């Protein structure tokens, strides 16, 4: 997506995007508020964002996003470069820039995108932890600290004991394949649970606390029932 309040600059960036074979232009917006609407309705992997815009500038716009696409800032003001990198910008294009410079930034974005979409690697003697990419960092996740995993379109949210959830750009299927079946079970299209953390089951809902009820969908009831039966004492 291209975001710039200057019509000619926006037209140039959109044209450059269309010349990159591995890019697809999702939208071009003249302000941050229109861009936010696009992000809430479309999958956006990369944004070219002008910094100096009226009402809401590019830096504040990027800071306001809970889940950020990759970001490359474009601006005529070099003094914004440091601030841009403070919000984990992938690159910084100083106007006026040419296609050769844009192409280099595009290649950098491609490499970063491919790194993010690599399948998680499970390490350790007993496969007791994994490394995932989250918000431009590589984060270690201990499997015994996972309560449940929630699928959210292209992202998953990993809920941990006593910690803030970790977001990562992965599919539920790819993560499920890496988790040990002896401890983790898919109970819904959008949920995988750590069976060691199950304390209460109520009307085919797994109750983690007063606010968290994980539904067991029809497609997974048979498997879940077998798990309960195996552990049930009468």
CATH at 84: 3.40.50.2300
142 and 191 in a common domain: yes
How confident is the prediction for the chain on average, in pLDDT?
Answer: 86
Q: What is the CATH number of the domain that holds 126?
A: 2.40.50.1020
Print the domain residue range for 172.
Answer: 121-231
60 and 88 within one domain: yes
Indicate if 107 and 139 belong to the same structural domain: no
What is the total count of domains within the chain? 2
Please give the share of the chain, as a percent, with pLDDT higher than 70.
90
pTM of the model: 0.53
pLDDT level of residue 184 (50, 70, 90 thresholds):
very high
Q: Would you state the pLDDT for residue 12?
A: 95
Q: Do 147 and 81 reside in the same domain of the chain?
A: no
101: pLDDT strictly greater than 90: yes
CA 96 to CA 94: how far, in whole Å?
6
Q: Which residue has the higher pLDDT, 115 or 228?
A: 228
What per-residue string of b and e applies to 10-38 under the rule 16 or more CB within 10 Å gives b? bebbbebbeebeeeeebbbbbbbeebbeb
What is the average per-residue pLDDT within 183-193? 93
């Amino acid at each position: 997506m291209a975001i710039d309040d200057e019509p000619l600059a926006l037209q140039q960036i959109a044209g450059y995007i269309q010349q990159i074979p591995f890019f697809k232009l999702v939208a071009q917006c003249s302000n941050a508020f229109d861009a936010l609407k696009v992000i809430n309705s479309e999958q956006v992997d990369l944004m070219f964002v002008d910094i100096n815009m009226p009402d809401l500038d590019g830096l504040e716009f990027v800071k306001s996003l809970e889940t950020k696409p990759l970001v490359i800032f474009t601006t005529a003001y070099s003094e914004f470069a440091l601030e841009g990198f403070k919000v984990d910008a992938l690159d910084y294009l100083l106007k006026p820039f040419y296609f050769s410079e844009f192409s280099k930034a595009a290649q950098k974005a491609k490499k970063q995108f491919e790194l993010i979409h690599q399948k998680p690697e499970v390490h350790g003697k007993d496969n007791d932890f994994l490394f995932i990419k989250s918000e431009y960092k590589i984060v270690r996740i201990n499997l015994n600290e996972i309560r449940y995993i929630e699928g959210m379109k292209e992202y998953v949210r990993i809920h941990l004991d006593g910690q803030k959830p970790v977001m990562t750009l992965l599919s539920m299927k790819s993560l499920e394949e890496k988790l040990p079946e002896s401890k983790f079970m898919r109970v819904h299209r959008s949920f995988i649970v750590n069976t060691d953390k199950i304390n209460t089951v109520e009307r085919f809902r797994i109750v983690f606390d007063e606010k968290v009820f994980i539904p067991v969908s029809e497609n997974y009831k048979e498997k879940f029932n077998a798990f309960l039966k195996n552990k049930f004492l009468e």
